[in-house]
Amino acid sequence: MKLDIDDKKAIVEILAARYFAQQNWKWISLKRDVDRIYKSFDELVDQYNAYPYMSKDWYVENSASKNIHLCNKWDELKQFVDFLKAYSEDFDFLVSNNNRKMFCITTSDGEITDTQKRAITEARNMRCNVFVFKANVPEELDFELLQVGGGY
């Protein structure tokens, strides 16, 4: 069966997620979870506005959603959310290793678009590492369709 571009991209993303898990890295898919990050940010703003006697840093540090945004301080979270609003489409994953944020682009052909190149530059300006996870995915996969006989 011939694989299309979306199939290949999905396979590479699965491989990358498996690699992150094997390395015991914290990671989130920006394709699936970016809205959760925005929602978490909005909830923290609402909490602070309702109870401003605690610092914004305290709310970020003690938030239940800390594992989603991987931030410890308010300024870091604000800058991160602003960055994602501009560039989240250009990355596939946010990864944390020893409290160091990294962005990941997945690819099956090694190609990086011009917009991804700009996003990489901006991420590096924020002192975030960026890496490309490239996996060689074949153009076609073999399979068999087996018939099961019997009374079930």
Smallest CA-to-CA distance from 89 within 130, 39, 27, 34 is with: 34
Mean pLDDT of 131-148: 88
Tens of pLDDT, residues 95-136: 988 778 899 999 988 889 999 999 999 999 988 899 999 999
Q: Where are the domains of the chain?
A: 5-134
Q: Given this model, what pLDDT does residue 123 score?
A: 94
**Which segments within the chain are labelled E, that is strand?**
26-29, 93-97, 100-107, 129-134
Q: Is 73 helix (H, G, I), strand (E, B) or coil?
A: coil
- pTM confidence score: 0.83
Tens of pLDDT, residues 13-63: 999 999 999 999 989 999 888 999 999 999 999 988 998 888 899 988 888
Q: Given this model, what pLDDT does residue 151 score?
A: 63
